[in-house]
């Protein structure tokens, strides 16, 4: 993404923070404040948030109810750090998760706290799948993104990110995601050919891991039929099914879990990003009780009980006591989808295409560098949005799910103004 790195107020970061920094390059401002669907910078500029912390802020910034609960908890000297000791905050969260999410869906899962980030959840899922099956290989998909630690990186598609490992990334095999090879080729049949033929060179995997909508990989949406057939394949061949719902889950596509409309029952589910509700680091790994074969402490870590996140996560689950949020996401998602489609028609120079489910929408621009340039221009006009896809060819529209309708409209119109301005050049 082209950047405005010469802004003097970014000097401290430029001088002292590692070159590895990334989002501050795309959004060159020093932010001071955020409420709901908006952020403000040091110079008093206001920004509409179509980024939502890459999906970590589905309920917006500093939600007042979560903030209140958090402040109360801190004031009362509630436990902040306690490794994975039993705390009241944790007890309340586990209970609320059962009552609000798992029981109503008739889902029987054990919950594991793997460490605070998404990649921690993925690592624990991979380890567990290998331990259960005694097999080494894990099957993943083209353009998948599962995180930056070595196990998660080994099942991530992006060549640039993979190269960062500096060691061979072993024990994985990559298969084509839904429609990766065009609409004509059925990738489930393709995968099955490898499994059934002992000459294929592909050994039976411990697990298949997938995102139902690939976030970083470019808002690639798997059809419900494809997801269901992957599940059937897993059952037939006795392979575990892991759904990485770190970005697409927690209502981003509508339902709490993104896979609900596909009618599947994953063996293992990875959650992070918005599960904490408030943007605090938090991750979960859910698995069927019969898969809970861990020895005590076999997978351990210092920060596996973020009690502050337990408090906000418990409050966030109140959003799921009725279906109003689901309805909002459906309505707003449809609005964004139609708006993006109208842009594609109105501005043929975009060579555009629209992809997405719920409030996880993408405007694909089949012109090199165009989506990034539009994002930069949008930022200057007060809209924060990021790109996805291997060549940053997808402009991602991911506002907080509870974004105000007027703010959503305003953000969309800034997007159109930015497109107009960029295409004029
Ligand atoms: C963000 C993300 C991860 C990694 O989460 P981190 O907290 O960045 O480690 C894994 N999988 C998916 C689908 C993600 O979007």
Domain segments of the chain as ranges: 66-320
Q: What is the pLDDT of residue 184?
A: 87
Tell me the C-alpha distance between 415 and 425, whole Å: 16
Contact criterion met (CB below 8 Å) for 406 and 414: no
Q: Atom 11 in ligand 1: which residue has the minimum CA distance?
A: 146
Which contiguous run of DSSP H or E holds residue 308? helix 307-316
Burial (CB < 10 A; 0-12, 13-18, 19+), residue 115, is buried
Give 233's Cβ-side CA count (13 Å radius). 25
Ligand 1 in contact with 247 (CB < 6 A)?
A: yes
Answer yes or no: is the C-beta of 244 below 6 A from any ligand 1 atom. Answer: yes
Atom index in ligand 1 nearest the CA of residue 119 equals 9
**What does the pLDDT look like over 220-241, one tens digit per residue?**
999 999 999 999 999 999 999 9
The CA 270 to ligand 1 mean position distance, Å, reads: 9
Say how many Å lie between the CA of residue 134 and the centre of ligand 1. Answer: 26
Q: Supply the pLDDT for residue 2.
A: 43
223 within 8 A of 264, measured Cβ to Cβ? no
CA 120 to ligand 1: nearest atom: 9
Does any ligand 1 atom lie closer than 6 A to the CB of residue 361?
Answer: no
What is the C-alpha separation between 254 and 139, in angstroms, rounded? 27
Say if ligand 1 is within 6 A of residue 214 CB.
Answer: no
Does CATH number 3.90.280.10 belong to domain 66-320?
no
Looking at ligand 1, which atom is closest to the CA of residue 148?
Answer: 9
* Residue among 383, 22, 43 at smallest CA distance from 13: 22
What separation in angstroms does the CA of 182 have from each of 68, 141, 157, 186, 379? 50, 15, 18, 9, 34
| Residue 260, φ and ψ in degrees, nearest 5 | -55, -50
Q: Judge whether 67 and 58 are in contact, CB under 8 Å.
A: no
pTM over cut 0.85:
yes
Query: Among all chains, which residue has been given the structure tokens 């898969």?
Result: 291
Q: Please provide the DSSP assignment of 26-81 as one string.
A: HS-S-EEEEEBTEEEETT--EEEESSHHHHT-TT-BS-HHHHHHHHHHHHTT--S-
- 371-395: pLDDT as tens digits: 999 999 999 999 999 999 999 999 9
Instruction: Give the residue ranges of the chain where pLDDT is below 50.
Output: 1-3
The residue whose C-alpha atom lies closest to atom 10 belonging to ligand 1 is 146
- CA–CA distance, 101 with 408 (Å, rounded to integer): 28
What integer best gives the mean pLDDT of the chain?
A: 96
Q: Which of 139, 130, 287, 141 is nearest to 214 (CA)?
A: 141
Q: Tell me, what's the pLDDT at 1?
A: 43
Asked whether 217 lines ligand 1 (CB < 6 A), one says: no
């Amino acid at each position: 993404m082209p950047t405005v790195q010469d802004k003097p107020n970014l000097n401290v970061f430029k001088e002292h923070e590692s070159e590895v920094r990334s989002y501050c390059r795309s959004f060159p401002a020093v932010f001071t404040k955020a409420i709901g669907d908006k952020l403000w910078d040091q110079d008093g500029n206001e920004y509409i948030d179509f980024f939502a912390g890459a999906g970590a802020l589905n309920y917006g910034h500093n939600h007042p109810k979560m903030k209140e609960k958090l402040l109360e908890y801190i004031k009362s000297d509630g436990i902040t750090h306690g490794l994975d000791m039993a705390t009241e905050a944790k007890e309340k969260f586990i209970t609320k998760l059962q009552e609000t999410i798992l029981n109503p869906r008739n889902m029987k899962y054990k919950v594991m706290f793997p460490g605070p980030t998404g990649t921690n959840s993925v690592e624990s899922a991979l380890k567990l799948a290998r331990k259960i099956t005694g097999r080494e290989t894990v099957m993943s998909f083209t353009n998948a993104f599962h995180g930056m630690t070595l196990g998660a990186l080994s099942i991530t598609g992006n060549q640039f990110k993979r190269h960062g490992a500096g060691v061979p990334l072993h024990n994985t095999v990559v298969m084509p995601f839904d429609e990766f090879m065009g609409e004509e080729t059925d990738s489930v049949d393709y995968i099955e050919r490898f499994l059934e033929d002992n000459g294929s060179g592909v050994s039976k995997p411990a697990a298949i891991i997938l995102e139902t909508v690939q976030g970083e990989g470019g808002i690639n949406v798997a059809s419900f039929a494809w997801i269901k057939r992957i599940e059937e394949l897993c059952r037939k061949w006795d392979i575990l099914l892991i759904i990485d719902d770190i970005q697409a889950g927690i209502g981003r596509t509508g339902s709490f879990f993104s896979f609900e409309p596909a009618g599947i029952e994953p063996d293992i589910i990875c959650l992070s990003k918005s599960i904490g509700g408030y943007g605090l680091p938090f991750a979960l790994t859910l698995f069927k009780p019969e898969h809970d074969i861990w020895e005590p402490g076999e997978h351990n870590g210092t920060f596996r009980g973020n009690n502050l996140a337990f408090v906000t996560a418990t409050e966030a689950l109140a959003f799921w006591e009725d279906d109003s949020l689901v309805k909002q996401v459906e309505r707003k998602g449809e609005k964004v989808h139609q708006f993006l489609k109208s842009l594609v028609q109105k501005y043929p120079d975009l060579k555009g295409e629209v992809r997405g489910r719920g409030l996880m929408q993408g405007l694909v621009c089949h012109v090199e560098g165009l989506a990034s340039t539009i994002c930069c221009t949008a930022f200057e006009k007060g809209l924060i949005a990021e790109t996805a896809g291997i060549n940053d060819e997808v402009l991602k529209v991911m506002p907080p799910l509870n974004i105000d309708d007027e703010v959503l409209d305003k953000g969309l119109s800034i997007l159109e103004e930015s497109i107009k301005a960029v295409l004029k050049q």
